[in-house]
Each structure stands twice: as structure tokens, then as C-alpha cells.
Amino acid sequence: MKYRLFLSTKKTNPQGYAPIYFRIFLNGKEVDKSTGCYIQPSEFERKTKRVFGNTHQVLEINSKLNKICHLLDELSKQQLTFSASFKRIERVFNEAGTKCGGFNFVDVFKEYLTFTKTKVDSGFDDAIKLQTYRKQEFMFENIKSFLEYINLLEIESFQVDQALMNQFMYWSRQVNKHSVAHSNKQIRLIKAVIKFGVENGYCKSSNIFGVKLKNEVKPIVYLNQGQLTQLEKINLCGHKLEKIKDVFLFQCYTGFSYIDLEHYSKDWITADLKGNLFIRYYRGKNEKLCLVPLQQEAKQILDKYNHCLPVISNQKYNQNLKLLGTLLNFDIELTTHIGRKTCGSILLNKGVSIFTVKTILGHSSVKTTETHYAELNESGILGDMQQASNIHLANNLEDKSQLKMFA
């Protein structure tokens, strides 16, 4: 194992300070680790790889650099596997102490984004998708806007607490009109950022880890069987909404999310030994395997477009779905996600096992399916009761004369 120090001028912050990094060469691979020390570029001596000066802060930084060098030298003498060495390197930088120079919460967030960007499609177990990283960038800009709004852009990480998160929740809900779920996602990201900062010596611990999130229970919005039949029967041949209708119906038959519509391939079609067709794919959101029996109606749509679904941008798709819902006089506003919800809801209400629905929709666990769909399984519950034993269920079509005795 070898290493060298360098000043990363590309990551100079708005105050003109650049971070000192270690580049570690291990088994033919390079790993860059930040020391958490920020200095003016003119203060860095290229020959000695140390900071010039005799101030208390300079001595503190040089002491930390010497400590890291010593720990890495000791580590290089040990015969460890790559995995073990990498874990020890993490410990070295944690043991070297807290950050040097002024790191506020926004600085830590930037370091976090730099770190997560290296995990995009990295091939390791903790790899993330580019889409996930883009969402984190978007949330960072939103959180930064909030801090600017309350004049706390320079806030330290340890000052982020329940009171601040209550303010953020109010701002997110009332000013930005975000849902509770989206606001909670941003607070979870803030927690992850501060945890990263603490573990890597950028900041002290914070009360953020005790922050409780407010949950919101929303009713499931989906098309019932009557509305689905109405959509199937409407003739839009030659109409600009014909393709929108077909793609949305395909979602209702398969439970596809928008991202899976975008990536659909004919190669996803498989057959079992009896010739039954399935759509077998890994869901874009969580990489879970989905196994969807191909209904005849869905197959007809695929054949109509030669397996090239006419998918447009998510924004345009939702705009056109709104027009389609208005055309049909639906009392709900159609969105791409309602197609997926419709699939799960109708399957459950037809008595399909919740475990089967989980596999079709690609949920991470059956608990997710239960949380979102179990309350809709009315027909399935009635069917199970009737088949279980000779239980006679009451209905509102009984002779009213028989009901008078209870009056």
C-alpha cells in the first residue's frame, strides 16, 4: 500500500479554502480520502506536503496529517486482504480526529454528495443508481434554499435539531407544497448526511438522530373495475390520446411503474414449460425481481406496438392522463402511479394472494404490500369467508320484513 497527500483545488469552497486529501494506492486501485482539513492553497507546501506557518490551527492540521501518515505506515506493514485493508483505512481516518477548518452543514452535505457520486453504478454492494444521486442533488438544493430562507446557511451540523426540522417540515409543506412523504425523505437524507459527517470526522454528533418523523396515511387512489372497463371500451382510434390510453392500460394489467415502462424490452418475455407467458424483470426502483403473468389484454397492446411502447416523458404523460380522465368524467385525477395501484388493487379484490401481488409488483417485502393494499381486499375477504365453512354472510338484499324484528 502506498499513499500521497494533495490539495484538491477543484473542491475549493466559496470562502477560498481547499481540502487536503490522501490518495491511497491499494492492490492496483486508488482511493481518495478527505482529511477534513481546509486551508488556503497558498499555505500548502508542495515539497513537504504540510501546511506552512506556526499558528495553533496550522500545528493542529500538521499534527493530524502526521498521525494519519503514521497509522497508514503501520497498516502497510500488515498482510491484510483488500477488504480488510479498506475497512482499516476507514478506521484510520476516523481515529485521526475531527475536522480542521470551518466545516458547516452545507459543507458536509457537499462532501456527502461527492462520496455518494463515487457509488453510482460502482458494482459494489452499496452501489446506487444515477437517478438516486440526482434526487439527492435536487433535495440538497431544496434544503439549501430553506436554510437561506431562514438566514442559517452557515449553520453547524450539531445545531440541526428537532426544532429546526419542525420548521423545515412546515416550510416544505406550506411553502413548497410538498407531501409529508417527500418532506420525510428529505429529513432522512439530512440524518444520513450528518451520520456521514460524524463517521468521517467532519462534525460533532447532533440531536438530529432523535428527530421523529410525522407519518401521513393517505387513501389509496385507483380505478375500480367499472372505471377500468369504461376506459377499455372508449374508442380513441386516431385520437391523440390513443397511445396514452394503451400505455396506461398496460400499467393496469402489469403493475409497471413509469421507469419500468421506459426500460421495457421484448427480452423480458419468458415462458414456462406449459407455454404460459410471463414478464420477468428487475424493478428499476429497488432491483427486486418481478414475475408478471402476461394477460391477453397486455399482450395485445405489446403486439400492437411491436413491443415498442409509445412512452413519452413523465411530465407529458401525466398531463395527457389528466385530459384522459376528464374525457371519461372520472372523479379522480389520473396519474402514472394510479395505473400501478389499480393493478395491485384489482388483483387483491379478485382474491389473488397478497404474496403473489408482492411478486408481481416487486415490493421489497410483503409488509409493503400489506401497508398499501391490504385494506382494499374486500372481495378476497368475502370469498375466503364463504369458502372456509358454511358461513352465511348478510347483505342488503334480504327481505326487509325479516329485518323488522331487529327494529
Residues 146 and 114 occupy one common structural domain = yes
* Domain of residue 291, CATH code: 1.10.443.10
Residues 323 and 357 occupy one common structural domain = yes
Return the pLDDT at 78: 76
* CA-closest candidate to residue 172, choices 142, 150, 193, 152: 142
Does 401 map to a domain?
no
Does 72 map to a domain?
yes
* CA-closest candidate to residue 26, choices 97, 91, 76, 99: 76
**How far, in Å, CA of 293 to CA of 298, rounded?**
10
Q: SS3 of 7, please? A: strand
The parent domain of residue 68 ranges over 2-100
What is the per-residue pLDDT across 299-331, written as a single tens digit (0 to 9) for each?
Answer: 999 999 999 999 999 999 999 999 999 999 999
| Alpha carbon distances (Å) from 167 to 172, 183, 186, 393 | 9, 11, 13, 51
Residues 234 and 195 occupy one common structural domain = no
Residues 129 and 202 occupy one common structural domain = yes
Does 316 map to a domain?
yes
Q: In the structure grid, which three cell numbers stand for residue 48, read together?
A: 513537504
Angle at 262 between CA 258 and CA 264, to 5 degrees: 110
Does 381 map to a domain?
yes
Residues 378 and 240 occupy one common structural domain = yes
Residue 64 pLDDT exceeds 80: yes
Give the DSSP H/E element, type plus range, for residue 44.
strand 44-45
Q: SS3 of 251, please? A: helix
The top-scoring range by mean pLDDT among 175-184, 200-209, 301-310, 358-367 is 301-310
Residue 114 pLDDT exceeds 70: yes
Does 398 map to a domain?
no
**Phi-psi sector, 245: left (phi>0), alpha (psi -120 to 50), beta:** alpha
Residue 398 pLDDT exceeds 50: no
Residue 90 pLDDT exceeds 80: no
* CA-closest candidate to residue 136, choices 86, 186, 180, 100: 186
Give the count of domains, the chain.
3
**How far, in Å, CA of 330 to CA of 227, rounded?**
8
Q: Name the domain boundary from 100, 133, 151.
A: 100
Residues 330 and 202 occupy one common structural domain = no
What is the per-residue pLDDT across 130-144, written as a single tens digit (0 to 9) for each?
Answer: 888 999 999 999 999
Q: Number of helices and strands (H, E) in the chain? A: 16, 8
Q: In the structure grid, which three cell numbers stand for residue 252, read together?
A: 393496469
Q: Are 4 and 15 contacting, i.e. CB atoms less than 8 angstroms apart?
A: no
pLDDT band at residue 400 under the 50/70/90 scheme: very low
Mean pLDDT confidence for 244-273: 94
Residues 379 and 339 occupy one common structural domain = yes
What is the per-residue pLDDT across 118-171, written as a single tens digit (0 to 9) for each?
Answer: 888 777 777 888 888 999 999 999 999 999 999 888 888 878 888 889 899 999
Strands, E, within 285-350: which ranges?
A: 289-293
The top-scoring range by mean pLDDT among 2-16, 192-206, 269-283, 375-389 is 269-283
pLDDT band at residue 386 under the 50/70/90 scheme: low
Mean pLDDT of the residues in the chain: 83
Return the pLDDT at 407: 39
Residues 143 and 21 occupy one common structural domain = no
Mean pLDDT confidence for 20-45: 86
Return the pLDDT at 26: 80
